[in-house]
């Protein structure tokens, strides 16, 4: 009996630790891109605000590669305790259609809160000598070799939009995939590629050395009204606007998920954060009240485009 009592005493601290209120330790936000891009930057802004609200340390961990599958799989397989969440983009829903055996299922994850819509910009170096999308298309048609375009990964929105543009115009472009937006921007500034699909924020930041030809969005952006859409330029790409948001392992306790969802939505709605979001080329998603339902619709939408244009990797 003394032995049993001793074992019971030894077992008490872990039981107490397990019942500690959330959050009682560091929270990690995993980002599927390398440091330096707009998605990484905005995630860090949110992490700082979340730390203040939770009164706990919140860090950003970058896990680039495989069009976000490395980071997404890591979060999907993490302990569903609320201490590991994912800040990601449309690649999360595209991968499940692009791969026959993706490393995660959407049912492995819970959609917590939207961050913002993410229109994609098509840019060229000013040294290329074109100022409109039509001029670029004509140059590509007349070129003896395929012009290149940089993307932030195979299977990304940038890759898919590039495929749609090629099939709608009849031009051939050579895709050069990078492990994120920042390396793609570095490459175009170095003259290594002829064009690139990047975030609007990334494009605007390099406006002195690059020309933004169009954005993939149904309408012009309020913050950047001078940039035409692909449709306006005469080469529709189906208004393929991306999105970004936060996810957690599916089995996360409901009270923790609800707390995280509320805190993240409130942070994104803060005037200072919302203004930063718009400056970086995102658009507000506060109109999306049912984020899980929105994500389900995005899975179907991108799957339809991937099938229609026979896109594979």
Q: Does domain 24-118+242-308 have CATH number 3.30.360.10?
A: no
Query: Element (H or E) spanning 244, and its range?
Result: strand 242-249
- Chain centroid to Cα 113, Å, comes to 13
Distance of alpha carbon 37 from alpha carbon 35, whole angstroms: 6
Nearest to 53 by CA among 263, 268, 265, 277: 263
- What pLDDT, in 10s, does the model give residues 162-198? 999 999 999 999 999 998 888 999 999 999 999 999 9
Nearest to 37 by CA among 185, 181, 158, 191: 181
- What pLDDT, in 10s, does the model give residues 57-76? 999 999 998 999 999 999 99
- The structural domains of the chain, with segments of one domain joined by +, span 24-118+242-308, 120-216
| CATH of region 120-216 | 3.40.190.10
Same fold, 24-118+242-308 and 120-216: yes
User: What is each CA distance from 79 to 12, 27, 57, 74, 250, in whole angstroms?
Assistant: 22, 12, 18, 10, 10
- What pLDDT, in 10s, does the model give residues 121-146? 999 999 999 999 999 999 999 999 99
State the average pLDDT for the chain: 92
What was the pLDDT predicted at 236?
A: 87
Residue 80 phi/psi, 5° resolution?
-80, 60
In the chain, what are the helix, strand and coil shares in percent, each to the nearest 5? 45, 20, 35
């Amino acid at each position: 009996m003394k032995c049993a009592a001793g074992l019971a005493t030894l077992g008490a601290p872990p039981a107490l630790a397990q019942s500690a209120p959330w959050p009682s330790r560091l929270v990690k936000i995993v980002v599927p891109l390398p440091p330096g891009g707009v998605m990484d930057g905005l995630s860090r802004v949110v992490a700082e605000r979340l730390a203040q609200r939770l009164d706990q340390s919140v860090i950003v961990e970058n896990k680039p590669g495989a069009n976000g599958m490395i980071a997404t799989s890591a979060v999907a397989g993490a302990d569903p305790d609320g201490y590991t969440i994912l800040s990601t983009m449309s690649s999360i829903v595209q991968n499940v259609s692009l791969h026959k055996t993706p490393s995660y299922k959407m049912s492995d994850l819970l959609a917590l809160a939207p961050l913002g819509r993410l229109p994609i910009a098509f840019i060229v170096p000013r040294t290329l000598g074109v100022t409109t999308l039509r001029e670029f298309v004509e140059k590509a048609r007349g070129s003896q070799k395929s012009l290149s375009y940089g993307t932030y990964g195979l299977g990304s929105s940038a890759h898919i939009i590039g495929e749609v543009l090629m099939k709608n115009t009849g031009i051939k472009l050579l895709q050069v995939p990078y492990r994120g937006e920042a390396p793609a921007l570095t490459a175009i500034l170095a003259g290594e590629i002829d064009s690139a699909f990047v975030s609007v924020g990334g494009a605007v930041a390099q406006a002195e050395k690059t020309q933004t030809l169009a954005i993939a969005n149904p309408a012009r952006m309020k913050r950047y009204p001078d940039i035409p859409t692909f449709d306006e330029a005469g080469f529709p790409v189906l208004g393929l606007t991306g999105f970004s948001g936060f996810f957690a392992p599916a089995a996360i306790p409901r009270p923790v998920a609800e707390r995280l969802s509320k805190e993240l939505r409130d942070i994104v709605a803060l005037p200072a954060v919302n203004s930063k979001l718009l400056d970086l080329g995102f658009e507000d998603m506060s109109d999306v009240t049912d984020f899980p339902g929105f994500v389900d619709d995005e899975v179907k939408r991108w799957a339809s485009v991937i099938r229609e244009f026979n896109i594979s990797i």
